């Protein structure tokens, strides 16, 4: 069983670190603390994750959205304490984020879905435009940023996005949602070297042994549970289910 | 632009995947001066595929580190010639390889021989069901080479790979436990079959109870100590679950690296230049003789490499594109039906059922090679009576598991929430307790399915992209519907809590988004005359006798089976013809 104290501790630690590093805004809770309330960072050293790409407002959105897409619950840690926001942020500075793994030459045209991705937007732009549009939408309707809404309201908005009911100029809401959900799951399920899945919680949850990659014995024991907990590429050992 | 002109070589090889490496190794013994040009990077088992770094699903499985980068080059796609083709911007449906070893690095390792009738599909259908059963738009044709001619080369390639499997037909004698529909083989598989997972065992039991003949899938994943005919020692598969999309850290999945290169490096008359993208094959003023190739290096500098013999051994799509860019062979014209380059493009028609069992059954999908599993061949073309069914071709049906990577290999019921606590509950419920029955089906060639050059979109070098005009045709949709019925019949016996179908339905269109298979075929097909083919039975260009084209681009149509067996056996067959016939008397090996 997952130890929930540890889970809660992990989440607090993550948020605390995020807080300490963002010089312009704070993340925790529902308010924005005045700048003077910032904890003084350790001199000359960044004590935790500093977003490489997202600006402070976007960072608040990413943390809030990840927390709803894969929440912490009775089944264990969620995306936030596992570091998924860090994962997504780092991906934005990879060739992937710049669209350098996709053919992005014009002309761009509308197409039937079967012809695949035809948007001129690369992941960085999808996030930048998408988050700005959603926060603007939330300001109009709720006079608050997405990150400051109640979880129930956040879920309702994510559901609308997923269903294609919210569209913004130059950006279909479903396109943004697909991008966000895809990256959130990637971060939650990938090896921790990429920034998410820091305690291998997702692998423990489902029963994936991670980087063990050696199963002669298991092949001799079909239909038997695998006995060992997951391990990461770096050798970190996760918890048993 | 300045072009660096190099000293001539005897043989230049364009593309260094399976077929290029096999050709290089086979010709190296002649002592001729051989140069291979590979557009991608140098790669080897160590350090590029080393454990544990290779077990990284995100980098290799999702961001596709070992594959062609579409930002540099892709294809455009449309369903019919009346449509406007758009670029295949994000890879999904098929994943061309790149770099030393090509797709031979990151394949799963399914290694088939065709049956005798597979190579004579047109004659077989005509004899059994009558020529009138072939739709007017279906450009079905026989291979110009027989199974008997190719048999020694299938055997040789199986030995090169240390192939694991159970013979079903040894010199005409049926062997229990193997595929009873197999064409006769002179030798058993080099190594014993892979172990079976629980999914394969359940499937085998159910299939047997219905009177079918299940057998372990033949796999280029070595299961015993094996030294291959090139003197290379292979490792033993440990079922790590990282075959598909990954390089093998273990030296057990056959790849050019694990089976050929250690031996090829001993030949000082062979050299390999990587990051060398061939732009075109050059011909003399007559257009009937290749003079070499023009290529561009990683700095953008152009090079001219003269050669007496040109081997075109790039991936299927690139073979077609390079011939079109080089003006070799008559391009296919879909309106008139004339021309051959780009004709008979085909693919593979796959379907699947997800079987959700619940927590009493542990499938442990992570414990796998690329090819662990059980198949039946009872519904492959020619193996059952197809009278009145209304389709040509067939499929294998089986339970194969190639791994349990959590981002990409975790099927959930369609009604499962996609996020939130409900999603977490669902992944816990299903990851270990779900298996898949798959069907892998043939695709016939059609007048309206072809490859040509795109008029609009260009690659990173400013050359036109290849344009694919392709959609599912009624014949294949009927075939896959039939296979769904058979797969569901087996699934019912297996007793899953819930079964969900991923088979295509009538009216469905080709969709480039979900991965289906990288078994794109045709476009430079082999045939018995220059009107129906680009190359003759020895894979020699009808138009340019010192040019040979290797790979799945020579398939007249696509089989249910995965292509690597025929791809590599025909490459060895062509190498043999070059050594024994062509070098003695350079010129056309078959008179047009």
**Spatial CB neighbours of A43, under 8 Å, sequence gap ≥ 6:** none
Question: What are φ and ψ of residue B98, in 5° steps?
Answer: -160, 150
pLDDT tens for each residue of B35-55: 999 999 999 999 999 999 999
Closest CA to B401 of B430, B351, B437: B437
> B190 and B219 in contact (C-beta within 8 Å)?
no
Residue B547, strand partner residues: B310
Asked casually if ipTM beats, i.e. exceeds, 0.95, the reply is yes
> B16 and B32 in contact (C-beta within 8 Å)?
no
Q: Is A102 on the interface with B (CB under 8 A)?
A: yes
If you ran DSSP here, which 8-state letter would residue B540 be given? B
- Residue A35 pLDDT exceeds 60: no
**Residue B555: its pLDDT value, please?**
98
Taking CB atoms and an 8 Å limit, are B238 and A189 in contact across chains? Answer: no
Alpha carbons B259 and B44: distance in angstroms, whole number:
11
- Residue B530 pLDDT exceeds 70: yes
Mutation target vs B (from A97, A163, A206; most B CBs, 10 A cutoff): A206
Query: Three-state DSSP class for B501?
Result: strand
Alpha carbons A61 and A57: distance in angstroms, whole number:
7
Instruction: Give B-chain residues touching A185 at CB under 8 angstroms.
Output: 407
> B111 and B49 in contact (C-beta within 8 Å)?
no
Average confidence (pLDDT) over B66-90: 98
- Residue B108 pLDDT exceeds 50: yes
How many other CB atoms are found less than 10 A from the CB of residue B208? 14
Mean pLDDT of chain B: 98
Token pair, residue A29, equals 């809770």
Contacts within 8 Å (CB) and 24+ apart, A222-230: A222/B196, A222/B197, A222/B198, A222/B201, A222/B364, A223/B198, A223/B361, A223/B362, A223/B363, A224/B362, A224/B364, A225/B362, A225/B432, A226/B362, A226/B364, A226/B366, A226/B367, A229/A200, A229/A204, A230/A200, A230/A203, A230/A204
Alpha carbons B35 and B8: distance in angstroms, whole number:
10
Q: What proportion of chain B, given as a percentage, has pLDDT over 90?
A: 99
CA distances from B559 to A164, B37, B525, B564 (A): 40, 30, 14, 11
Average confidence (pLDDT) over B189-214: 98
Residue A172, strand partner residues: A167
Nearest CA in chain B to A205: B428
**Residue A29: its pLDDT value, please?**
34
Nearest CA in chain B to A106: B457
Token pair, residue A202, equals 């997702």
Nearest CA in chain A to B196: A219
Residue B1's pLDDT band, with cuts at 50, 70 and 90, is low
Q: Is A107 on the interface with B (CB under 8 A)?
A: yes
Instruction: Give A-chain residues touching B95 at CB under 8 angstroms.
Output: none
Alpha carbons A54 and B559: distance in angstroms, whole number:
49
**Spatial CB neighbours of B299, under 8 Å, sequence gap ≥ 6:** none
Average confidence (pLDDT) over B566-580: 98
Token pair, residue A191, equals 């090896």
**Spatial CB neighbours of B464, under 8 Å, sequence gap ≥ 6:** B325, B453, B454, B455, B457, B458
**Residue A46: its pLDDT value, please?**
60
Distance of CA A120 to the CA centre of its chain: 23
- Residue A3 pLDDT exceeds 50: no
Question: What are φ and ψ of residue B526, in 5° steps?
Answer: -95, 145
pLDDT tens for each residue of B451-466: 999 999 999 999 999 9
**Residue B398: its pLDDT value, please?**
98
Place of tokens 């599909």: B121
**Spatial CB neighbours of A59, under 8 Å, sequence gap ≥ 6:** A18, A22, A25, A27, A51, A85, A89
Instruction: Give A-chain residues touching B79 at CB under 8 angstroms.
Output: 114
Burial pattern A84-109, b for ≥16 Cβ within 10 A else e, equals: bbbbbbbbbebebbbbebbbbbeeee
Catalytic annotation, pick one of B122, B303, B519, B545: B519
Residue A33's pLDDT band, with cuts at 50, 70 and 90, is very low
Residue B519 annotated as catalytic:
yes
Query: Three-state DSSP class for A119?
Result: coil
pLDDT tens for each residue of A166-225: 999 889 999 999 999 999 999 999 999 999 999 999 999 999 999 999 999 999 999 999
Average confidence (pLDDT) over B12-27: 98
- Residue B69 pLDDT exceeds 50: yes
How far does the CA of residue A23 sit from the closest CA of chain B (Å)? 31
pLDDT tens for each residue of A72-115: 999 999 999 999 999 999 999 999 999 999 999 999 999 999 99
CA distances from B287 to B69, B189, B320, B327 (A): 33, 44, 17, 9
How many other CB atoms are found less than 10 A from the CB of residue B223? 22
**Residue B2: its pLDDT value, please?**
85
Instruction: Give B-chain residues touching A78 at CB under 8 angstroms.
Output: 424
Mutation target vs B (from A208, A210, A232; most B CBs, 10 A cutoff): A208
Question: What are φ and ψ of residue B354, in 5° steps?
Answer: -95, 130
DSSP state letters, B97-142: B-STTTHHHH---B--PPPGGGGGHHHHHHHHH-GGGS-TTB----
Q: Is B128 on the interface with A (CB under 8 A)?
A: no
- Residue A34 pLDDT exceeds 80: no
Alpha carbons B371 and B163: distance in angstroms, whole number:
11
**Residue A37: its pLDDT value, please?**
39
**Residue B73: its pLDDT value, please?**
98
Q: What are the helix (H) ranges across B162-265?
A: 198-209, 256-259, 261-264
Residue A45's pLDDT band, with cuts at 50, 70 and 90, is low
**Run of H or E residues at B547:** strand B547-549
**Residue A50: its pLDDT value, please?**
83
> B100 and B43 in contact (C-beta within 8 Å)?
yes
**Residue A43: its pLDDT value, please?**
62
Output the pTM of the full model. Answer: 0.94
**Residue B592: its pLDDT value, please?**
87
How many other CB atoms are found less than 10 A from the CB of residue A231? 19
Q: Is A103 on the interface with B (CB under 8 A)?
A: yes
Query: Three-state DSSP class for B203?
Result: helix
Q: Which among B90, B249, B424 is the nearest to A75, CB-wise?
A: B424
Taking CB atoms and an 8 Å limit, are B362 and A202 in contact across chains? Answer: no
Instruction: Give B-chain residues touching A236 at CB under 8 angstroms.
Output: none
Taking CB atoms and an 8 Å limit, are B239 and A214 in contact across chains? Answer: yes
Q: Is A214 on the interface with B (CB under 8 A)?
A: yes
Phi/psi class of residue B171: alpha, beta or left (left: φ > 0; alpha: ψ in -120 to 50)?
A: left
């Amino acid at each position: 069983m997952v130890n929930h104290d540890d889970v809660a501790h992990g989440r607090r630690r993550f948020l605390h670190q995020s807080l300490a590093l963002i010089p312009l805004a704070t993340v925790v809770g529902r308010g924005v603390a005045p700048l003077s309330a910032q904890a003084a960072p350790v001199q000359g050293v960044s004590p935790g994750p500093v977003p490489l790409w997202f600006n402070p407002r976007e960072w608040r959105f990413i943390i809030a959205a990840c927390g709803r897409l894969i929440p912490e619950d009775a089944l264990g840690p969620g995306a936030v304490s596992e570091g998924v926001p860090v994962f997504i942020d780092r991906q934005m500075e990879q060739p992937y984020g710049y669209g350098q793994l996709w053919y992005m030459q014009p002309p761009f045209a509308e197409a039937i879905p079967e012809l695949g991705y035809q948007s001129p937007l690369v992941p960085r732009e999808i996030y930048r435009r998408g988050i700005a549009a959603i926060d603007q939408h939330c300001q109009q309707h709720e006079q608050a940023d997405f990150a400051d809404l109640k979880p129930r309201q956040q879920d309702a908005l994510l559901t609308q996005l997923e269903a294609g009911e919210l569209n913004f100029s130059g950006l279909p809401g479903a396109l943004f949602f697909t991008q966000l959900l895809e990256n959130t799951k990637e971060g939650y399920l990938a090896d921790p070297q990429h920034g998410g899945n820091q305690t291998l919680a997702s692998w423990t949850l489902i029963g994936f042994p991670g980087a063990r990659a050696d199963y002669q014995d298991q092949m001799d024991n079909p239909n038997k549970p695998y006995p060992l907990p997951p391990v990461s590429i770096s050798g970190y050992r996760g918890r048993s289910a | 632009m300045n072009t660096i002109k190099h000293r001539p070589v005897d043989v230049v090889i364009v593309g260094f995947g399976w077929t290029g490496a096999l050709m290089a190794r086979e010709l190296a013994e002649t002592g001729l001066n051989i140069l291979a040009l590979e557009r991608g990077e140098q790669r080897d088992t160590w350090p590029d595929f080393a454990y544990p770094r290779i077990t990284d699903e995100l980098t290799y499985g999702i961001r596709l580190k070992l594959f062609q980068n579409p930002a540099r080059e892709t294809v455009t796609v449309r369903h019919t010639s009346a449509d406007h083709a758009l670029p295949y911007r994000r890879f999904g449906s098929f994943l061309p390889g790149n770099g030393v070893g090509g797709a031979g690095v990151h394949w799963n390792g399914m290694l088939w021989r065709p049956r005798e009738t597979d190579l004579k599909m047109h004659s077989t259908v005509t004899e059994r069901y009558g020529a009138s059963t072939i739709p007017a738009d279906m450009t079905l044709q026989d291979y110009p080479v027989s199974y008997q001619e190719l048999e020694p080369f299938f055997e040789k390639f199986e030995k090169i790979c240390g192939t694991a499997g159970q013979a079903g037909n040894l010199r005409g004698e049926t062997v229990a436990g193997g595929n009873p529909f197999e064409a006769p083989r002179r030798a058993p598989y080099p190594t014993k079959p892979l172990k079976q997972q629980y999914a394969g065992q359940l499937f085998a039991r159910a299939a047997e109870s219905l009177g079918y003949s299940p057998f372990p899938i033949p796999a280029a994943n070595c299961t015993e100590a094996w030294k291959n005919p090139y003197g290379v020692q292979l490792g033993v598969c440990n079922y790590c679950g990282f075959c598909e999309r990954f390089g093998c850290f273990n030296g057990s999945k056959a790849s050019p690296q694990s089976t050929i290169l250690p031996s090829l490096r001993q030949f000082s008359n062979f050299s390999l230049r990587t990051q060398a993208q061939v732009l075109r094959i050059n011909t003399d003023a007559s257009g009937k003789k290749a003079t070499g190739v023009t290529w561009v290096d990683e700095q953008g500098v152009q090079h001219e490499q003269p050669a007496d013999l040109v081997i075109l051994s790039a991936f299927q799509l690139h073979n077609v594109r390079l011939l079109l860019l080089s003006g070799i062979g008559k391009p296919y014209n879909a309106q008139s039906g004339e021309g051959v380059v780009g004709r008979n493009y085909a693919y593979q028609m796959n379907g699947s059922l997800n079987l959700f069992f619940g927590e009493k059954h542990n499938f442990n999908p992570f414990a796998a090679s690329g090819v662990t599993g059980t198949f039946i061949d009872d519904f492959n073309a020619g193996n059952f009576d197809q009278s009145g069914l209304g389709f040509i071709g067939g499929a294998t049906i089986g339970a194969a598991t190639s791994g349990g990577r959590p981002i990409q290999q975790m099927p959930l019921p369609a009604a499962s929430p996609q996020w939130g606590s409900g999603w977490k509950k669902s992944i816990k419920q299903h990851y270990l307790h779900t298996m898949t029955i798959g069907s892998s089906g043939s695709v016939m060639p059609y007048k309206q399915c072809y490859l040509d050059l795109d008029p609009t979109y260009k690659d990173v070098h400013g050359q036109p992209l290849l344009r694919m005009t392709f959609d599912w045709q009624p014949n294949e949709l009927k075939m896959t519907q039939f296979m769904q019925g058979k797969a569901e019949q087996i699934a019912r016996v297996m007793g899953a809590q819930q079964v969900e179908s991923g088979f295509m339905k009538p009216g469905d269109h080709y969709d480039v988004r979900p991965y289906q298979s990288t078994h794109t075929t045709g476009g430079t097909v082999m045939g018995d005359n220059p009107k129906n083919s680009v190359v003759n039975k020895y894979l020699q260009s009808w138009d340019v006798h010192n040019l040979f084209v290797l790979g799945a681009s020579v398939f007249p149509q696509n089989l249910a089976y995965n292509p690597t067996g025929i791809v590599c056996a025909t490459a060895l067959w062509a190498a043999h013809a070059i050594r024994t016939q062509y070098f003695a008397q350079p010129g056309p090996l078959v008179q047009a």
